[in-house]
Amino acid sequence: MNPLMYPKTWTNWAVTLVLAASSASAQTLPPTSRTVYKCEESNKVRYSDAPCLGAKKVDVEPTRGLNKSTGRERTGHDVQRERHNELMADAMRPLLNETPEQRAVRHKRFKLEPSTKTECARLDAQIPRLEAEERAAKDEPLKQVQQALLTSRTRFHQLRC
């Protein structure tokens, strides 16, 4: 069947293709986060990428591919891109003096507004300080520190730092 001979069918097919492409591009996911928070509320535990009051930060590292018994390594595009970025960071270390993690943060924040980058840098220093204060605090000061930490983490999450 030649689609050119049936213009209505050809038109319907083209419209379907355009609609599918536009809906796929409109449904973009937010950037992935490796920060996971363990939230305990009313004796229930919940894990989330969004911070909550009194959250414990969970250290997670996603898998980096699957090795089959045949010896072939199967990795996704995201892992390949991450490995490439790590190799580039190692190659550029003598020039830029930054670790792969620092390079990843710089690239992630590249398109942010300058004021947002400045606020992210401030939060980079503030959050670890508040986490240390939370570990050392007791009773009433603990709640104040946890509230300040929640505010900082929430702002960090909103800015997509």
Residue of higher predicted confidence among 142 and 22: 142
- What value does the mean pLDDT take over residues 101-123? 93
Domain boundaries, the chain: 76-108, 112-161
**CB-CB contact of 37 with 49 (8 Å):** yes
**Which amino acid is located at 123 in the chain?**
L
Least confident interval from 55-69, 114-128, 144-158 = 55-69
- Predicted confidence band at 150 (pLDDT cuts at 50, 70, 90)? very high
Mean residue pLDDT of the chain comes to 78
For 148, counting Cβ atoms within 10 Å of its Cβ (0-12 exposed, 13-18 middle, 19+ buried), the class is: middle
| pTM exceeds cut of 0.85 | no
Question: What is residue 55's predicted lDDT score, i.e. its pLDDT?
Answer: 85
